Amino acid sequence: MLLVTVSAYTIFNLKHWNKEEGIIAWDVVSYYGYLPAAFIYDDVSLENPNVKFDEYRHTFWMEKAKNGAKVFKTSMGMSILYSPFFFASHIYSIVTEAEPGGYSPPYRFGVAMSSLFYLLLGLIFLKKFLQEFFSEKVIALTLLLVGLGTNFYYYTVIAVGMPHIYLFCLLSMTAYFTVSWYKHPKLKTSLCLGLLIGLMVLIRPTMLIVLIFPILYNVISVEERLLFFKKNFVNVLIVFLVACLVWVPQIAYWKVVTGNYLYYSYSEEGFFFTDPQILNALFSFRKGWLLYTPIMAFALIGFAMMYKKKEKMTLSLIMPIVIYFYVASCWWDWWFGGSFGYRTMIDVMPLLAVGLAFFIKEVFNVQKVLKISFLSFLFLLLGFNLFQTRQAHEGLIHHDSMTKNAYFKIFFKLQKQISREELKPYLKAPDYEVAKKGKRD
């Protein structure tokens, strides 16, 4: 509850929903757009000449299909998760005579509250999942370090509405139900797993990679696992069919708008699998994961400890994390646009949390001096992350143009000590058009 309380306090203190460009902006515009288009403007094709979309000073992020139709760039998974809060905001706007166009403060407030809701739900299920393996004190410290010691916090309270907290929630629930499913494969658990998997992949198709975890969880041998699936074939089939059913609205939308059942809406944006930017993604001053989220190095150390001790769950955790990271580093925009840190790794944070928890568990077993030293260092890193989060909020950590010189120019400084104007000469903006062609720096 401490994490949710701190996050709620910060969100209500910042009040981004009162800002014209707050919350429903940039990527969130695309994730959210299905809802106002379908339920306010009754025009998911965005072609109705009688609808004046600019009336409420917003835009729909769209691409042109080969048939000339306008199609949403992202899939509708996030809109599904926003929807209860969207409908509540819409009813409120109508009843109170607020602007009912889908983009006024009540709707932005609704998205903010959805973020807090899925944060709470995700933390509850991550705790339930970790309780299968760790003590309460290890879990409490792990959740605290994940919640405040990584860029997870930034995407909870500042970049509100982005998909990372929502994917964290869905994967935390998937991890918990995976453990339950292998203990007792039941209809209810199978339905939940299918729904969660379908939603994760609908939000971000690369989340297919994390299915390695439920498939390989505590696997003993290939033969043993195939025999288990064969014995529980009906439940496996239910998981698969429910996951596919989640995609039916998306496939129907693509068919109606583009004429195709499956449609790649990112046009010329793609992956360069023979040129992964692994070192950049890990250590670069622009977006290096371990540079801006150094506490995760201890999660990786935890996995090494698990491997050394031959923990059964190790393979099912390491494989999806490594493959997910590799695929992310192959994306044309390996730094993922405007962001704080390497944000895509938040998506697999529930799996990373296991490695961190294992490291903490081992720390509790060492001599007192070493234990105090390790724990003190972890809390120093937590404080460092909170400081950098403020720097990012103030614009000192630039959203996509950081360099080594810029990093050390702002090191342990806030806006009152150095202005963004002073920082400009030290920044280097990426060339997005060149990057799409595979020439990435």
Written as six digits, the tokens of 314 are 């190790």
Closest CA to 152 of 292, 326, 249, 315: 292
Hey, what are 233's tokens? 């074939």
> Using CA atoms, how far apart are residues 296 and 125, in angstroms rounded to an integer?
20
Instruction: Tell me what pLDDT residue 268 has.
Output: 87
Could you count the other beta carbons within 10 Å of the beta carbon of residue 20?
9
Torsions phi, psi for 331 (to 5 deg): -60, 145
Q: What is the model's pLDDT at position 47?
A: 79
Residue 72 phi, psi (nearest 5): -60, 135
Please count the CA atoms within 13 angstroms of the CA of 213 that sit on its side-chain side: 29
CB atoms inside a 10 Å sphere around CB 292: 27
What is the value of pTM for the model shown?
0.96
For tokens 């400890």, name the residue.
Answer: 305
Quick one: tokens of 360?
């903490």
Q: Which residues of the chain have pLDDT under 50?
A: 55-57
Question: Which residue carries 């919350």 as its tokens?
Answer: 23
H or E element, residue 62: strand 62-64
From residue 235, give the alpha-carbon distance in Å to each of 120, 163, 224, 229, 334.
Answer: 29, 29, 17, 9, 38
CA-atom Rg of the chain in angstroms: 22
